[in-house]
Chains A and B, each alone.
Chain A
Amino acid sequence: MDVTITNIRKEFGQFPALYDLSLDIRSGELIALLGPSGSGKTTLLRLIAGLEQPTAGKIFFGEEDASAKSVQERHIGFVFQHYALFRHMTVAENIAFGLKVRPKANRPPAHEIRKRVSDLLDMVHLSGLEKRYPAQLSGGQRQRVALARAMAIEPTVLLLDEPFGALDAKVRKELRRWLKEFHDRTGHTTFFVTHDQEEALELADRVVVMSQGKVEQVGTADDVYDTPNSPFVFSFIGESSHVPVTVRDKTVLFQGEPIGTTENGQGPGELFFRPQDVVVTTDSHSLYGKVTACRRLAGTRIAEIDVANNGHEPYHLEIEVPLDAPVAVGADIRFRPTRWKLFGQ
């Protein structure tokens, strides 16, 4: 099911949570709504679900205007961060719920409901747990029951609100992998909200990076990582450092001195680069600072560098240095970015 969002606005009283947001999602995509708290991602998810009403704008499921429909009519599947399982019902009763509440005309017969429940439990690898109560399950198991429950009604769109947020790191990793497999198998259009960019980049077909109620960028993991289109996206996705520079005659100058890179354009801007896109050099056309710390990080080393700032608080940057060429703390160092992005006025 294609999902089209046009010019959505949502205000809570005076407070605007979403400004004029538009998105075009193709059927079967796994979309991550990524951003820090307050970015509006959960609000957007709830608007798609019908749990909130937009102040302005429309949401289309395929050709139909879903904004006119109640949450029951939209036929979506929603998985809450804290599972929201029905505590007084067994696992089987939870999953069967969506089918049991249908009006008689649409309700499948009891044996079919049982079979559907059983198939879904297989799909989420929880067979045999039909008679358990949510209180008797682990967090990861509960989340999978929540997913099976949402899937039971064969939703057009699947919506997950920080589905792994309440779980510990190891379980989170396992469930992430499992969710990807699940999506590949079932092919539903899926939105999930997360503030964990690693999760978003790993799982999503496309990532919607949001900040303060607006969409910063929409793209594949490669797009947002390699070609971020704003300072926010550059610094939110992956590690980054940045310094203010000026471009004159195609030369990039930091504090008046060339740093060995060239750019088109003129005038002041902010130069963003990633720690790994840096080369240590002895060339005088480079950035210059003092090493304040050097620590090992997995297969590489990170050097923290203070770059002088004319008597103000120095710029704190991080660069990767090769394992076989360590730098001493306190030593002076020269380095130059090999890949970067300049964000001007």
Chain B
Amino acid sequence: MSAKSASMAKPRFRDASTESPLARLSLMAVALAFMAFVLLLPLVLVFIEAFREGVPAFFEALGDPDTLSAIQLTLTVAAIAVPLNLVFGVAAAWAIAKFEFKGKTFLITLIDLPFSISPVISGLVYVLLFGSQSVLGPFLKSYGIEILFAVPGIVLATVFVTFPFVARELIPLMQEQGTGDEEAALSLGASGWQTFWYVTLPNIKWGLLYGVLLCNARAMGEFGAVSVVSGHVRGLTETMPLHVEVLYNEYNFVAAFAVSTLLALLALVTLALKTVLELRYGHAIAGSRKH
């Protein structure tokens, strides 16, 4: 091979810290194909199947009384669980981030627990606690309070699986922010509540919003835990995800996917808001992205 043709033999890598153009294209193709196939295809299917019998059928399915009850129940449960977990998250983050005490790690591990437990087990623990074979169950029933197979049980199970979200978001954020601002406010004469309201809260507002967003998405979408405690009573103790299961098992596919579109839209809105928050306020979120 002459020197001239050797230098023209193969394209030179322009950049020593990246792959050849061909390798780049191949990797991109693989990644994009994988994502489209695994992630996008199922999402697209939901919307297409929902409208398979046309738009009127879609709205008819949504208007079904059982479906409307399911939607209402889902919203109710979220409306209770999310604020509860919000308060918890703020309290826990305040205690953990602004003070030094022994047992912090244990506390944080405890808070992380629901993430490592199967949702079915999360529901199971409440069945064991309030079920017919337990102590508390019959006791409360004698007072007319039904936990299992009723709304309270669903709320409890939902609270269980979603309470880490706000706390996990706020703890690293508030730890990062330290205690300087609060100490300054106190030294200027502010009370505890004033300090929290006027100093801490503005600092954590975006992280708080982010945590609430994720908490809500999970609260509305939770299936396994709620399925175990709910009793599946149509029109009464079915949340939207449970109702989707029922419709699907009855081969009422259009209705199942119609309700699913609402949940899918919720997911997309959550994703969109999440992305906006990450892009615009990333610095104020201290996003630890493990879920």
Contact = CB atoms under 8 A, between A and B. Distances in A.
B16 A68 contact: no
A228 interface: no
A153 to B, nearest CB: 15
A71 B18 CA distance: 13
Contacts of A51: 16
A53 B16 CA distance: 10
B290 interface: no
Contacts of B280: none
Contacts of A53: 14
A70 B13 CA distance: 6
B16 A50 contact: yes
B133 interface: no
B12 interface: yes
Prevailing SS type, chain B contact patch: loop
A51 B14 CA distance: 8
A26 interface: no
Nearest to A53: B14
B3 to A, nearest CB: 8
Nearest to A65: B7
A70 B7 contact: no
B170 to A, nearest CB: 33
Interface residues of A, number: 8
Contacts of A68: 7, 12
Interface in B1-50: 7, 12-14, 16
A159 to B, nearest CB: 13
Contacts of B14: 53
Contacts of B13: 70-71
Interface string A30-66: 0000000000000000000011010000000000010
B45 to A, nearest CB: 43
Interface string A152-194: 0000000000000000000000000000000000000000000
A81 B13 CA distance: 24
B16 A71 contact: yes
Contacts of A70: 12-13, 16
Contacts of A65: 7
A115 interface: no
A262 B14 CA distance: 56
Nearest to B10: A70
Interface string A318-333: 0000000000000000
Nearest to B9: A68
A51 B13 CA distance: 10
B163 to A, nearest CB: 39
Interface string B101-141: 00000000000000000000000000000000000000000
Contacts of A69: 7, 12
Nearest to A69: B12
A228 B11 CA distance: 44
Contacts of B12: 68-70
A53 B12 CA distance: 10
A70 B9 CA distance: 12
B250 to A, nearest CB: 56
A73 to B, nearest CB: 8
A74 to B, nearest CB: 11
Interface centre among A50, A51, A65, A68 (most CB of B within 10 A): A68
A50 B13 CA distance: 10
B9 to A, nearest CB: 10
A70 to B, nearest CB: 5
Interface string A293-308: 0000000000000000
A239 to B, nearest CB: 40
Contacts of A50: 16
A50 B16 CA distance: 8
A68 to B, nearest CB: 4
A301 B12 CA distance: 58
A71 B17 CA distance: 11
Contacts of B16: 50-51, 70-71
A15 B197 CA distance: 49
State the 6 A-B residue pairs at the shortest beta-carbon distance, nearest first.
Answer: A68-B7, A70-B12, A71-B16, A51-B16, A70-B13, A53-B14
Interface of B: 7, 12-14, 16
Given A68-B12, A70-B12, A71-B13, 10 more contacts: A50-B16, A51-B16, A53-B14, A65-B7, A68-B7, A69-B7, A69-B12, A70-B13, A70-B16, A71-B16
13 contacts: A50-B16, A51-B16, A53-B14, A65-B7, A68-B7, A68-B12, A69-B7, A69-B12, A70-B12, A70-B13, A70-B16, A71-B13, A71-B16
